[in-house]
Amino acid sequence: MRSFKAYFKKEILESVRGNKYLILFVGTIFWALMDPLMLKLLPLILKNYLPADLIVLFSTFNRDTAFQTFLNDLFQIGTIIIALTLMGLLSNEVSLKKLVFPYSRGASPAGVVLAKYIHYTITISLFILIAFLTNYFYINRLFTGGMLSIEIALKSSLLYILYYSVLLSILLYFSSLFKRGLIAGISVLVLGYSLSIFNQFETIRVYLPNYLLFKAADIGHIFDNSLIPTVIISFCIIILLVFFSILRMKKIDVA
Per-residue pLDDT tens over the stretch 68-86: 989 999 999 999 999 999 9
Q: Which pLDDT band, with edges at 50, 70 and 90, does 112 fall under?
A: confident
**Please, are residues 95 and 200 in contact by the beta-carbon 8 Å criterion?**
no
Using an 8 Å Cβ cutoff, are 205 and 214 in contact? Answer: yes
| 141 pLDDT above the threshold of 70 | yes
pLDDT at residue number 217: 92
DSSP of 27-70, one letter per residue? HHHHHHHHHHHHHHHHHHHHTTTS-HHHHHHHHT--HHHHHHHH
Phi, psi angle pair for 147, to nearest 5°: -115, 10
Q: 47 pLDDT exceeds 70? A: no
The arithmetic mean of pLDDT across residues 202-207, rounded, is: 89
Rounded CA-CA distance 224/43 in Å is: 36
Measure the CA–CA gap between 14 and 39, rounded to whole angstroms: 37
CA distance linking residue 151 with residue 212, whole number of Å: 17
How far apart are alpha carbons 36 and 33 in whole angstroms? 6
Query: Domain spans of the chain?
Result: 2-251
- b/e burial code for range 44-55 (CB count within 10 A of at least 16 → b): eeeeeeeeeeeb
Question: Would you say residue 18 has pLDDT above 80?
Answer: yes
The pLDDT score that the predictor gives to residue 30 is 84
d(CA 60, CA 25): 31
CA dist 167 and 149 (Å) reads: 27
- CA 11 to CA 242: how far, in whole Å? 17
Return the pLDDT at 244. 94
Q: Are 91 and 181 contacting, i.e. CB atoms less than 8 angstroms apart?
A: yes
Rounded percentage of the chain residues whose pLDDT exceeds 90: 49
